């Protein structure tokens, strides 16, 4: 992935003739990963999608690609990518709360998309 692609946190994902959905993403190797249980909850595993990332505030496209959305497990995602996805989520005030909350987040549906 080009370095510019890693500096933004929202990608617009659309399936063939479907509406675009904004999702928070993280780069994990040669793919992006995002949670698939909110905006992508009705996107079937194996669907061809188009991904676009724009400059903040509606600027021009930084990168666009098509790929296949695959369900993946939290064990298949690097720890840094998972923490980046959760950067905006309060995981707790204590180590015990953090650990419990992180384990709950790891059970969510995750989707990986590679160009």
Locate 3 and state its tokens: 């370095």
Q: Give the pLDDT confidence of 64-114 residue by residue, as tens digits.
A: 899 999 999 999 998 888 888 887 777 788 988 888 877 787 789 999 998
Instruction: Domain ranges for the chain, please list them.
Output: 3-113
Q: Is the pLDDT of residue 7 over 70?
A: no
Q: Give the pLDDT confidence of 9-42 residue by residue, as tens digits.
A: 688 999 977 789 999 899 999 999 999 998 999 9
Entry pTM? 0.82
Topology given in CATH for the domain delimited by 3-113: Pnp Oxidase; Chain A (2.30.110)
């Amino acid at each position: 992935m080009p370095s510019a692609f890693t500096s933004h946190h929202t990608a617009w994902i659309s399936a063939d003739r479907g509406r675009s959905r904004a999702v928070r993403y993280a780069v994990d190797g040669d793919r992006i990963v995002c949670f698939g249980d909110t905006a992508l909850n009705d996107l079937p595993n194996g669907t061809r999608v188009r991904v676009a990332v724009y400059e903040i505030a509606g600027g021009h496209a930084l990168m666009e690609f098509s790929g296949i959305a695959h369900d993946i497990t939290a064990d298949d995602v690097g720890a840094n990518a998972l923490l980046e996805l959760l950067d905006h989520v309060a995981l707790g005030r204590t180590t015990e709360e953090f650990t419990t909350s992180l384990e709950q987040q790891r059970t969510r549906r995750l989707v990986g998309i590679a160009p």
